[in-house]
Structure 1
Amino acid sequence: MGTGVEISPREAEVLELVGAHLSNAEIAARLCLSVRTVESHVSSLLRKLRVPDRRALARRAPEAAGAAPSHPAPVLPAPLTSFVGRASERAELTEMIRAHRQVTTVGPGGVGKTRLALAVAGEAVGEYSDGAWFVDLVPVTDPGMIATAVAGAAGLGEQPGRDMTESVVAALADRHALLVLDNCEHVADGVALFLERLLATCPRMTVLATSRARLMVPFERVYPVPPLSLAVDGESDAVALFMERAAAVGWPLDPPLRDQIAAICARLDGMALAIELAAARYPTLGLDGITAALSHPLRMLTGGSRADERHRSVRAALDWSHALLEPADRALLRQVSVFTAPFTAVAAAEVVRFGPGPVGTGTVGTGPVDEDTVDEGTVDEGPVDEGIVADGLARLAEQSLLVVTASPAGTGYRALETIRQYGTERLAEAGELVDARSRHLRWCLAQAVGLTVVRADWRARFDLVADDLRAALAWAAGRPERRADAYELARRLAELTFTRHLTGESQRRYEQAAELAGDPADSASMLRQAAAVAGCRTIGDDMYRLRRAAADAARGSGDSAGAAADLATAATVAFRFSTTFVRLPPREEALALVREARERAGDDPAARAAVALAEAGVLTDAFGAAQGPSENEVPETIARAEHAVGLARRTGDPLAESAALDALIGAQSWAGDTFAAAGTARRRIALLSSLPISPAGTHELVDALAMVTEAGLGAGDVPGARRWARRLAGHPSLAEVGHRATCRLLMVDALAGNVAEVLTGSVRFLDAWRRAGSPALSILRPAAAGVAMIHGLRDDRRARREWQEVLGRLGTPPEGTYGYGAVFDALLLLHRGRAPEALERMAPEAGQVWKWVTWIWHHWYVALRTEAAVLAGSPGARDRLAEARTVVAGNPVAGAIVERAGALLDGDREALLATADAFDAAGCRYQSARTMVLAGGPHAERGEAVLTGLGFAPMAPARSR
């Protein structure tokens, strides 16, 4: 790398992805590492390359060209066998994907579409700076899960406020990559909709799809994949493939046999799958045996769907292969076709039906029962013999009817989709489909139950069975007699996907469970869970809709109190989480919900507590009014909130009490009672920290961590605020949304003057924000203003302009003018010695703008305004000083700023230096160094040295009017 230091291959990979501006979570997903491991590599690189921050590290990434690939390693399956022939097809298809952004290879199953697409992708991947991803859509049974499958292959996650499709499209907007979508035919409509979104938004993405039929979208370019060439005179790809595969199993063929081989290939219609199956049987049948087998009547199916011309040639090859199997293996092949994803012998043994041998033979059950050897009515359920199943699976794998896969649970097996579909049809013909599906459903339910016991490897275990759970649910949901099982599986899948941080799917599964529930009370419960997940996704509209739907379900079950609680909660959502709505309901609508809730609540404690909480917000004008209640309404707001807390506490529900405490925190902040708000915020954390993982609990905890961070900062507890902010930034539910995860931590570090932390965190913030589509979320504004201030203190004008542009895109509401905006601007102006301008920036008295300077900004505003008045030589500085001491009493940081202003006014150097110690104890290194500079003399030199070491530009002398 030309750096003179030794960097490991893994570090080089991490460095390259840092240079591509990926977050640690995205790097972890791309390289299959934990986020903690990625953080360790980044720290090591910072140390080895002697750079101060992540931005500088990203600039060093191009130097890694000699130590790491110039492009990301393509995420393409490694073929286990050689690719034979198709030179002209490869050349033609390669030119097509260069000229067109979406190409679909079409042809019947078994013609070789996937292998051709992989060969072309493998050769073309170097032309795409971001590499290539391969997505096998075989396990996808729901058209709505296309984006989830693509996200899994590309290492992407769902972003709050967006569904998975929107998240993937946003993440790939600037990528230059090739996406291979394999086996699209069974979800063609879903693929078409996904591609329309993807290609319209991601101008540098190219898609190569394989399907049995065209996707029928206007921008599609179709490439029909022909059978392998069958020419006898000259070269033949079909013959070459047969000979290569026969040689691979230890039976090379002599050239004189080419004509006979060509005849066999012609009878197989040049279908690659059929040719490979025939070659695999050559050692035991020979060419004459294969030729004879092609005349077997089972090579052609007749009647119903079996006469479908699209499948006839492949079906003929599969029928022929099926005819060569032993009866027990035939039964095994069709019964394991119920598995969508790779499965183990243990799983197959639980699903496959065993029974006695043929009637009259006197044999004991030795394998799955075959319809050709046992009459209807003679089959009984028998013991499960895992050894017999494993032996049978091995034989099917040897016949290329199953693919052996690596699995953490042991040796895995997978049927190619055409073979799996063939087995399913055979299962139906045998009259075993419903029974086999039912056993598979029971197995899936057992797997789902087992996964609820969280172990270290549970994520990998879930991923192995997730597609089977989804497929079983899709089947059961369509059968009225399986409705109860479908409900149970939907409920458990909703829980599992939430824990797996697939929150979009979790919400859909909870809503599906609500539809499947036989009891309206269960439906209401599922809708409440769905609403909580929507809260975790910051989708207020869905929270509101689902809570109202839960109220309807509760009414249907005769649960008047439950309906009251849901109605009140819907109204509460509308004011408590108003910033997460696209369309905020009218206040009159919320008031109507509260009135109905009050009428229905009766004496039920939970319902009364929910109603009281709604009244604490909706009835005091907090709903729909960003500035909060009027000054005269504050006492009433506090009284209503305290009443809500009391009622919630009596219910014994920590989540209800936490929500009521949140209302009390807001009321205390409007009253200017900073320390009470901080104490109440800590009470919320104590209530929630030990609760088990759940959608509602997670939503409350994330909100509580944000509030306790801000409340702590407002009370001057900078170390405590940073601890809470770090916990929030590391919460797993926010792993893929770095802008939301880090915004409070950036705010804390900016006020504390932690330059290195701000520079590192701001890179993650900005990357994640842009990947999310640059949402204008109000919670992000203070962080952006703080980062802009830090760059101003460093005198980095370019970076400051960049962040001021970000802040402009986020908007500047009144709290930006009089709250955090005034505080951050004053800090910068004071550093630059422009005290009169700082005083003008904070001209209004705190009482005049109390709605905007309450919460975390009140004490900071008062303290900085006092210091600006002293340094500017304001005539009323001493009176202002006395008033400020009363306001900020008990706040270690704001109090120290006020005392520093007093020392400066009195010319008391000893008192001034004492405030430096107070700032150090409070975790504010910048303010400590600033105090030293203000003290003058040798103290100023030491202060300037500290400022330089922290990364700040020199302070300018204070200029009075």
Structure 2
Amino acid sequence: MSTPVISAREAEVLALLGEYLSNAEIAARLVISVRTVESHVSSLLRKLQLPDRRALARHAAECARAEQSRSAPALPAPLTAFIGRVRERRELAEAVKAHRLVTVVGPGGVGKTRLALAVAADAAGDFADGVWFVDLVPVTEPGRVGAAVAAAVGLGEQPGHRVDDAVSAALADRRALLVLDNCEQVRDGVAPFLERLLAACPRLRVLVTSRARLMVPFERVFPLPPLSRAGGGESEAVALFMDRVAAVGPPPGPAAYEGVVAVCERLGGMALAIELAAARCPTLGLDGLAAGLSDQLRILTGGPRADDRHRSVRAVLDWSHDLLEPREQALLRRVSVFVAPFTTEAAAEVAGFAPLDPAAVVDGLGRLAEQSLLTVAPSASGTRYHALETIRQYGTERLADAGELTDVRARHVAWCLTGAAALTGASGGEWRARFDGVADNLRAALTWAAGRPELRAEAYRLAVSLAELAFARHLLGESQERYEQAAGLADDTAGAAALRQAAAVAGCRRLGDDMFRLHRAAAEASHRAGDNVSAGRDLAAAATVAYRFSTSFTRIPPVEEVTALLKEARELSGDATDARAAIALAEAAVLADAYGALQGDADNTARETVERAEQAVALARRAGDPVAQSAALDALSGAQSWAGDAFAAAAAARRRTDILASAPPAAAAVHEMTDALAMAAGTALGMGELSRARRWGRQLADHPLLAEAGHHATSWILVADAFAGHADEVLTRSVRFLDAWEQSGRQRSLSLGAAAASVAMIHGLRADQEARATWLAVVDRADTAPQHQHGYGAVFDAMVLLHHGDVDAALERVAPEPDEVWKWVCWIWLHWYVALRAEAAVLAGHPQAPARIAAARAVVAGNPVATAQVDRAQALLDGDLPRQLAAAAAFDAAGCPYQSARTLLLAGGEHAAAGTAALTGLGLTPKAAP
């Protein structure tokens, strides 16, 4: 099949579709009309034989990703030529094609990394979705392997989704190559991570370098021998030596060739040893180099795994070390504590003590770099130095031999604490780069200090700082992990505080089970510390979480368990204001949850729930805690909705955003703010305030915490735009929503189900039944309970049925009395439900139409859209054309062009044409009035 010819303008439109822009946005960007854009979109769909706009946007994004992969593969650019390894290069490439996991095994310094990079670059064209390189040297904890891979792939954390699962979801359908370098120190983490990853990603290939094989059954081991040392032109070792010598000075002449062969033979064909020797050749000469090897090359005694070639690397490093001045030797071993590139200032602080002063450190770094023992890495923040891992490990051993290991690492811990303190609370465009530059050092220092009883306090402070910084960097999984680590390093009082913070971060991640567990753990720590008031508050918080965030649990705690927690909380708390506020909040949450199941005394229970929530709000205000006050207002909003006071419920929800505006950006406040914005958007939608719903929805979508969670961030915008009838915006945004939802592991919540249903409705209004069915299937998988569909499901279905003139089916869809359904679904849909119920009754000629109109009018008073819909139903019933046209104007004023256009269509006559044109302009399919 020939490749379709796409014009230059069509290519521009296609590229902007890949950015998920609407037709109007594309038209503005290209300075053309919306109609012209629509024409180009139709042409592209036809030429590319794609079914819909979503597929077109995905195609554009995939083309852009493929082009980016071709133009800039995610591999480090080698600074020197790759010499030799012709046979190994060919055989390793074949192994990567034939096997899912290939591990290049060999001693340190043999050249595993360079060979892997060369093969990966050669094979880049075979992997349409990219090649990624992950250096695991800075990773000191097996559990951090997935986070390192996620960072290399460019994958942010997904709330409610662990980082290893996020990587699997992101790479699930990718034809890609992943290169994991230097795996030996975290082999216990690499093996299980790769087993899960490869099982979930059938098109993925992984190339590993390690000093030891992973010992898993699905691994293909590729042992890498030293460079060939045969005489003549076939010697790879000689070729490497000559190339590296030529880079720093004049190479030896032909007469010296045999001497070069002898040197390479003595070095065991080890690439690192040869490169280090070549760097010395211009200053020592080949004869001096040979003499140095004869006198100073020594074989170090290694463990039972060390072989002669490994000892040869150590011997070359010993020789290089012995050529240094004593001060340079001290500096080399002291800077070995840095696991990531470091500055001269950092080196001076950690290594600058007798016999070194800061000036000697600066000079010494330059000398070590000149002698190839350190590499120089210019950066935006200044020159940084870095030791190759083999040299860094050698320096660490020398540090221990000199008896300085504990002192230097303690100084490194102190430097990390100072650096972390300088970053805490900082902001600006450079902050992220500054954190990324020191993060691996912070982690390594914490790992070491955590195992030293005398540094327990420092380890605790470092863990808390790293938790705070990771949260600011939106590394939520690590933040929670570090807070829990800090709790294990602290006394019970500080530990309880750290566990509360961990619970707040778990809330941001939508992990209800973790929130519940961590609040209970905080209560136990507080109780051990003799702080019963805090213990009671923590138990009340756990009880509240079980009901308030029940949709984020994988296993909701039994009622008996939560009731027992609340009883114990009352017994422990006494009269402390903050604890009483927490208990009142928990009691309101418990009562609200139980309210829907009550039969007899429901009204009294509703009043009691409101009273408890109001008490919680007052107590939280007295305690001066904006987060607690927001949570109490959330409970009050829910209680008022159960009591039937929807407008009071909306007002309480909106107050939360104002109260939280001045709260510090700690995890608890951030979690509360994202929830508050979502509830503000939802309640505005329930009140028919579509512009406000979109405004709060945009604030939620723009929140940095939700940058990677497009499904949660955009859900309420989708619903608001769908009610308004902005089809183009809904279909454009739905692409990102669906991709993010699938990448997140297909999470479930009420708002996600409603968002998917709103997209299905737009497809229904466009008469695209196949796309509607696809999105209705998403609804079934995205919501937490089928009964929720009696709320939004009935509303959206009825709108589609009425749009197509199937009034009897619409009447049946909203047949249940409102009181039978709304209180156990969600009050947000009540006004829409009763208004549609009245309209369907009128259009179907139902005898109860007047009664339904009267009942609806009493409920929706104050809702501009629902009121206009009820007015339209009354006008249709009375045959009052002026009142119908007034309803159309009311819909326009309320920001609901779809219902305005439909009103004109229902008015008939000369108005029907205007309604038809308006619906067409919205991207919807007009239908004749019933």
Give TM-score, length-normalised by structure 1: 0.91
Equivalent of 1:426, from 384, 389, 398? 398
Matches within 5 A, 1:237-248: 237-248=236-247
Unpaired runs of 5+ residues, structure 2, are 42-51
Aligned to 1:373: none
Contact 2:694 2:720 in 1 (8 A): yes
Aligned to 1:103: 102
Superimposed CA distance per residue, residues 480-516 of structure 1 (whole angstroms, 9 cap, x where no aligned partner): 1101100000001000001111000000000000011
Equivalent of 1:676, from 621, 636, 648? 648
CA pair 192-413 structure 1, distance change in 2 beyond 3 A: same
Aligned to 1:882: 854
Superimposed CA distance per residue, residues 309-344 of structure 1 (whole angstroms, 9 cap, x where no aligned partner): 673121011111112222222211111111011111
Contact 1:575 1:617 in 2 (8 A): yes
| 1:138 Cα offset (Å) | 0.5
Distance 2:789 2:69 in 1: 47
Matches within 5 A, 1:364-513: 368=356, 383-385=357-359, 388-456=360-428, 457-513=430-486
| 1:761 Cα offset (Å) | 1.2
1:931 corresponds to 2:903: yes
Aligned to 1:130: 129
| 1:43 Cα offset (Å) | 8.0
| 1:466 Cα offset (Å) | 0.1
Contact 1:534 1:543 in 2 (8 A): yes
1:582 corresponds to 2:581: no
For residue 659 of structure 2, what is the amino acid of its counterpart? Answer: L
Aligned to 1:377: none
| 1:874 Cα offset (Å) | 1.3
Provide the alpha-carbon RMSD of the alignment.
Answer: 2.6
Distance 1:568 1:732 in 2: 30
CA pair 256-474 structure 1, distance change in 2 beyond 3 A: same
CA pair 420-71 structure 1, distance change in 2 beyond 3 A: same
Unpaired runs of 5+ residues, structure 1, are 25-38, 357-367, 369-382
| 1:630 Cα offset (Å) | 4.7
Distance 2:901 2:148 in 1: 53
Which stretch shifts more, 823-832 or 157-166?
157-166
Distance 1:303 1:650 in 2: 67
| 1:774 Cα offset (Å) | 2.1
CA pair 431-488 structure 1, distance change in 2 beyond 3 A: same
| 1:955 Cα offset (Å) | 2.0
Distance 1:578 1:247 in 2: 68
Aligned to 1:530: 502
Which stretch shifts more, 83-92 or 447-456?
447-456
CA pair 149-390 structure 1, distance change in 2 beyond 3 A: same
CA pair 816-626 structure 1, distance change in 2 beyond 3 A: farther
Distance 1:496 1:924 in 2: 44
Distance 1:751 1:41 in 2: 23
Distance 2:257 2:600 in 1: 86
| More helix as a share of residues | 2
CA pair 159-611 structure 1, distance change in 2 beyond 3 A: same
Matched residue SS, 1:178: strand
Which stretch shifts more, 597-606 or 768-777?
768-777
Contact 2:592 2:642 in 1 (8 A): no
Equivalent of 2:576, from 604, 615, 624? 604
Superimposed CA distance per residue, residues 709-744 of structure 1 (whole angstroms, 9 cap, x where no aligned partner): 111111111111110011111211111121111112
Matched residue SS, 2:554: coil
Give TM-score, length-normalised by structure 2: 0.94
Superimposed CA distance per residue, residues 844-899 of structure 1 (whole angstroms, 9 cap, x where no aligned partner): 22122232465211111111111111111112212222222221111101000001
CA pair 943-842 structure 1, distance change in 2 beyond 3 A: same
Matches within 5 A, 1:782-797: 782-797=754-769
Superimposed CA distance per residue, residues 275-300 of structure 1 (whole angstroms, 9 cap, x where no aligned partner): 01111111101110110111234643
For residue 496 of structure 1, what is the amino acid of its counterpart? Answer: L
Matches within 5 A, 1:500-579: 500-517=473-490, 519-579=491-551
| 1:392 Cα offset (Å) | 1.9
For residue 522 of structure 2, what is the amino acid of its counterpart? Answer: A
Aligned to 1:744: 716
1:869 corresponds to 2:868: no
Contact 1:903 1:912 in 2 (8 A): yes
Superimposed CA distance per residue, residues 825-844 of structure 1 (whole angstroms, 9 cap, x where no aligned partner): 11111111122221111112
Distance 1:412 1:327 in 2: 23
Distance 2:290 2:62 in 1: 61
| 1:171 Cα offset (Å) | 1.1
Contact 2:592 2:638 in 1 (8 A): no
Contact 1:158 1:168 in 2 (8 A): no
For residue 555 of structure 1, what is the amino acid of its counterpart? Answer: H
Matched residue SS, 1:168: helix
Superimposed CA distance per residue, residues 3-50 of structure 1 (whole angstroms, 9 cap, x where no aligned partner): 234989xx99x76xx75xx989xxxxxxxxxxxxxx999984797993
Matched residue SS, 1:622: helix
Distance 2:642 2:820 in 1: 13
Equivalent of 1:662, from 634, 638, 646? 634
| 1:783 Cα offset (Å) | 0.8
CA pair 336-508 structure 1, distance change in 2 beyond 3 A: same
For residue 153 of structure 2, what is the amino acid of its counterpart? Answer: A
For residue 489 of structure 2, what is the amino acid of its counterpart? Answer: L
Aligned to 1:709: 681
Distance 2:422 2:593 in 1: 48
Which stretch shifts more, 871-880 or 674-683?
871-880
CA pair 695-629 structure 1, distance change in 2 beyond 3 A: farther
Superimposed CA distance per residue, residues 801-832 of structure 1 (whole angstroms, 9 cap, x where no aligned partner): 21122123335845434210110011111111
Give the aligned length.
Answer: 909
Equivalent of 1:894, from 843, 848, 866? 866
Distance 1:858 1:307 in 2: 74
Distance 2:273 2:321 in 1: 11
| 1:691 Cα offset (Å) | 1.6
| 1:170 Cα offset (Å) | 1.4
| 1:632 Cα offset (Å) | 5.3
Aligned to 2:49: none
